[in-house]
């Protein structure tokens, strides 16, 4: 290899490195701070869904679950899940939604 080929390869590498450095510097300067939870795109949907589950919707879900358990009892077969599932659904709807929303909106 002669020195011209070695020199041209070094110049090419230096050019690539310089272009990457310029791109990195531009990206660093153009980037803005991102905060988790600062985006309110889905806030209206979250509010409606949370209100639904904490209000009459959660009660309807619990009553339907209880009705399913009572239908199972009326059919003559008894399992513990016919009692435990409606209780779990009621507890989950009543306390689960506030727990999840407080964890998701926590400031860390």
15 pLDDT band (50/70/90 cuts)?
confident
Q: Between 4 and 87, where is the model more confident?
A: 87
Mean pLDDT, to the nearest integer, of 51-61?
83
pTM comes to 0.50
Q: Between 7 and 54, where is the model more confident?
A: 54
Q: Between 12 and 16, where is the model more confident?
A: 16
Please state the domain extents for the chain. Answer: 1-31, 43-104
* DSSP of 32-91: ----TT---TTHHHHHHHHHHHHTHHHHHHHHHHHHHHHHHHHTT---THHHHHHHHHHH
Give 17-39 pLDDT, tens digit per residue: 777 777 777 777 766 655 555 66
For residue 24, CA distances in Å to 13, 16, 20, 77 come to 16, 12, 6, 68
């Amino acid at each position: 290899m002669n020195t011209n080929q070695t020199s041209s390869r070094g110049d090419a590498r230096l050019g690539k490195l310089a272009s990457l450095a310029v791109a990195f510097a531009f990206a660093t300067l153009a980037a803005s701070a991102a905060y988790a939870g600062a985006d309110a795109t889905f806030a209206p949907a979250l509010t409606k869904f949370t209100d639904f589950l904490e209000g009459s919707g959660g009660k309807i879900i619990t009553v339907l679950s209880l009705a399913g358990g009572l239908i199972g009892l009326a059919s003559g077969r008894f399992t513990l899940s016919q009692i435990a599932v409606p209780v779990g659904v009621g507890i989950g709807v009543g306390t689960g939604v506030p727990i999840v929303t407080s964890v998701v909106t926590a400031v860390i």
